[in-house]
Amino acid sequence: MHSYQVILLAAGQGKRMKAGRNKQFLMIAGTPLLIHTLRVFEEDSLCKEILLVVNERETQEINDLIRSFQLEGKVRFVSGGKERQDSVANGLSAAAQSGPDDIVFIHDAARPFVMREYLHRLSAAAFEEGGAILAVPVKDTVKEVDGIEITKTTDRSRLWLAQTPQAFRYSVIAEAHARAAQEDHIGTDDASLVEYIGGRVTIVEGNYENFKVTTPEDMMFAEAVIKHRLEGGKE
Ligand SMILES: Nc1ccn([C@@H]2O[C@H](COP(=O)(O)OP(=O)(O)OP(=O)(O)O)[C@@H](O)[C@H]2O)c(=O)n1
Ligand SMILES: C[C@](O)(CO)[C@H](O)COP(=O)(O)O
């Protein structure tokens, strides 16, 4: 079992949620979204430290929130950046004392339902392979389109939906972000930056409950997951 640090990303604006504020503060079953996610890592004995990346303007509010839930034990605050990739880069800078083979997780705080068993599988895979991500098989047929015209139907059997955490040996992800910054290369996830420099990233099959809370209907799905778990579904 390999311990890890997690760069927990919470410095976005939640624009697609249309809530007028950072979605991390929105309540799911009476508890803020961010607290649900923080709790997972606070309670995981393999998690050594939570590098919580936040918008500087929200630091005090988030710090007060964390203390009110007594979840400050492993948290170290990091300032977020303009884009998600910038926030990750700031998190990596804060983790710079890590050894080259230390495992770093990068996780969207907007994914509150990741389960501990998957975190442990991911850590082992990242240690063995250098990089690993949670992902789930596509369930729908996926089309490429031009405007409204379908130009291609992709081979679904080879398509997976990337989730987070995405886990890497520190040296691997640090090099990938350094090269991306040097070459102004932007990726929508961190695995793509490792792929960009020819690095190996593997898949650990996760589950569909680990979705990213992004748009208003996701709040309904989130409430349903909590209800299912309270009624005895697996934690
Ligand atoms: N500059 C940014 C942008 C995003 N994130 C974080 O990255 C995660 C995934 O991003 P997303 O779901 O897109 O969140 P937002 O950027 O807040 O959403 P939107 O794009 O709708 O504004 C979120 O937990 C978000 O807080 C971040 O830390 N720093
Ligand atoms: C990293 C990610 O969650 C993998 O699916 C996704 O790419 C984040 O996208 P976002 O637009 O920054 O939420």
Q: Tell me the mean pLDDT in the region 103-124.
A: 98
pTM over 0.90: yes
- Band of pLDDT at residue 1, cut at 50, 70 and 90: confident
Q: Is 215 in the pocket of ligand 2 (CB under 6 A)?
A: no
Query: Would you state the pLDDT for residue 30?
Result: 97
Which ipTM did the prediction report? 0.99
pLDDT digits (tens, 9 = 90+) for 117-143: 999 999 999 999 999 999 999 999 999
Name residues whose C-beta falls within 8 Å of residue 25's C-beta, 6 or more positions apart in sequence: 32, 33, 34, 61, 65
* H and E: helices and strands count for the chain: 7, 11
Q: Tell me the mean pLDDT in the region 10-25.
A: 97
Provide the mean pLDDT of the chain.
Answer: 96
Query: Would you state the pLDDT for residue 33?
Result: 98
Q: Is 44 in the pocket of ligand 2 (CB under 6 A)?
A: no
Residue 234: is its pLDDT beyond 60? Answer: no
Distance CA(29)–CA(219), nearest Å, equals 10
Kindly give the distance from the C-alpha atom of residue 183 to the centroid of ligand 1, in angstroms, as a whole number. Answer: 23
Query: Would you state the pLDDT for residue 232?
Result: 85
User: Using CA positions, which residue lies closest to atom 9 of ligand 2?
Assistant: 188
- Band of pLDDT at residue 96, cut at 50, 70 and 90: confident
Query: Would you state the pLDDT for residue 217?
Result: 98
pLDDT digits (tens, 9 = 90+) for 147-181: 999 999 999 999 999 999 999 999 999 999 999 99
Query: Would you state the pLDDT for residue 91?
Result: 98
Provide the residue ranges of all domains of the chain, joining segments of one domain with +: 4-231
Residue 235: is its pLDDT beyond 60? Answer: no
Helix (H, G, I), strand (E, B) or coil at 50: strand
Query: Would you state the pLDDT for residue 109?
Result: 98
Kindly give the distance from the C-alpha atom of residue 232 to the centroid of ligand 1, in angstroms, as a whole number. Answer: 31
Q: Is 10 in the pocket of ligand 1 (CB under 6 A)?
A: yes
Best substitution site from 84, 113, 177 to test ligand 1's pocket, by max atoms within 8 Å of Cβ? Answer: 84
| CATH match for 4-231 among 3.90.550.10, 3.40.50.720, 3.30.1540.20, 1.10.10.10 | 3.90.550.10
Distance CA(104)–CA(133), nearest Å, equals 12
**Any idea what DSSP says for residue 229?**
H
pLDDT digits (tens, 9 = 90+) for 43-67: 999 999 999 999 999 999 999 999 9
Number of Cβ within 10 Å of residue 197's Cβ equals 15
Distance CA(226)–CA(228), nearest Å, equals 5
Question: How many residues make up the chain in this entry?
Answer: 235
